[in-house]
Structure 1
Amino acid sequence: MPAFSSPDRELRGFSRKQALSLAGVATALLLTGCSSSNDSLASQADAGDSKGYIAGDGSVTEYSEEERSQPVSFTGTLYDGSTITAEELRGKPALLNFWYAGCAPCRSEAPHLVELHEKFGNKVQFYGVNVRDERGTAEAFENNFKIKYKSFKDADGKVLYNLSKFVPAQAVPTTLILDAQGRVAARILGEIDSSILKTLLEDQAKSV
């Protein structure tokens, strides 16, 4: 079973361990406005308040080749009306970022996702999974942050449901990285750290 890491988990080599440790400090500071330090993810989910997201701690879980389960399976509809299945994403690594416009951590991480999308180009497929917004709200967010990759309209929770093994129901933002076979290779619960996500994506891009 993969370990759900604390921010100082050693990944591969000193530089990654150091980056993850520093990211944990930064993430803790960023999230002080989202929840108290004593809030667990479970207690936040059970609270049922109107906040609408769980302030994840930015923890990273990596799954080795041996630990990865079967390829994920889902069918989702993009805001432009086109339909994409998980099977269609296979052949290249993919990033799935769960978000919605009113989520403060989602807004904070958006510029970093844009930068990484531009960096990796066609080596990694980027998709958002919007769990709440109608098209106009989602597109206003995307235009504001100059997001060029597309998002699934998932207010009905169909994509989220099929990935619920990896994404807690209210844990937004959450970012999944799929390997080229469509298996979950890594998960970030909460706001991303750009340097860590870059390293995780590089691992998958170079393996293709």
Structure 2
Amino acid sequence: MPAGTRFARQIAISFAMILGGILIARAIAPFDDPPKYELSNSTGAIATNENLTGRRLAQVDLVATSGENISTESLLGKPLILNVWYSTCEPCRRELPVLAAAAKANAGLVRFVGVNIKDSAGVASEFASNYGVQYDLLLDPLGEFISASRIGTVPMTLAVDADGIVVDQVAGEISAERLNELIAKLVK
């Protein structure tokens, strides 16, 4: 037998033995369950928002950027646009100029309030100022407002009448057109 053929046969036999060994090892090894990775303590639910339309605005205390406690009840008496946001939320960043412009255009008709759920007072104030926001900023450092309102996603914009009833809500980034619709519902 020529040397080249003998070498090729030795390679084929060696390969077959290695492959056979691997198959035998897998056959006699115990079957393990695939690893399980815990992603969170959640029950697999997707974050959602409760429909607040027709319900009273949650009554909780928030914190002004100056540090004083402000009750959501004290925000009532005039139609209210309440926006829940934080600085590293990309859709929140995109909608802040829209909210700032609408607040300026509707000053005296509708009160605008931003409720920041993650940032410190300094970060929230500076960030909002950079986007032209001149309306009141409140903080929800313990998540009391979003828990009581069952808000699971941000941004969230609520249109609240002067008596404290939510007349509409927008989950996600709000457009100027949609914001104008909310304002029209409040001032009709």
Q: TM-score, normalised by structure 1?
A: 0.63
- Pair 1:98-2:75 in alignment: no
CA change 1:189–1:203 in 2 (3 A) is: same
Which residue of the partner structure matches residue 35 of structure 1?
Answer: none
- Alpha-carbon distance in structure 2 between the residues aligned to 1:70 and 1:137: 30
- Alpha-carbon distance in structure 1 between the residues aligned to 2:122 and 2:162: 32
Preserved CA contact (<8 Å) 1:74 1:85: yes
Give the count of matched residue pairs.
Answer: 143
Instruction: From 186, 189, 192, give the equivalent of 2:168.
Output: 186
Which residue of the partner structure matches residue 155 of structure 1?
Answer: 141
* Bigger shift: residues 131-140 or 177-186: 131-140
1:107-186 alignment, distance < 5 Å:
107-164=93-150, 167-168=151-152, 171-186=153-168
Preserved CA contact (<8 Å) 1:175 1:188: yes
- Alpha-carbon distance in structure 2 between the residues aligned to 1:108 and 1:70: 28
Preserved CA contact (<8 Å) 2:125 2:137: no
- Alpha-carbon distance in structure 2 between the residues aligned to 1:70 and 1:146: 30
- Alpha-carbon distance in structure 2 between the residues aligned to 1:85 and 1:110: 23
1:7-22 alignment, distance < 5 Å:
none
- Pair 1:77-2:59 in alignment: no
- Alpha-carbon distance in structure 2 between the residues aligned to 1:143 and 1:196: 23
Question: Unaligned regions of 5+ residues in structure 2, if any?
Answer: 1-44
Preserved CA contact (<8 Å) 2:58 2:145: no
Higher CA-based Rg: 2
Q: CA RMSD in A?
A: 2.0
- Alpha-carbon distance in structure 1 between the residues aligned to 2:77 and 2:129: 29
Write the letter of the residue equivalent to 2:186. Q
Question: Unaligned regions of 5+ residues in structure 1, if any?
Answer: 1-41, 46-53
- Alpha-carbon distance in structure 1 between the residues aligned to 2:108 and 2:135: 11
Which residue of the partner structure matches residue 50 of structure 1?
Answer: none
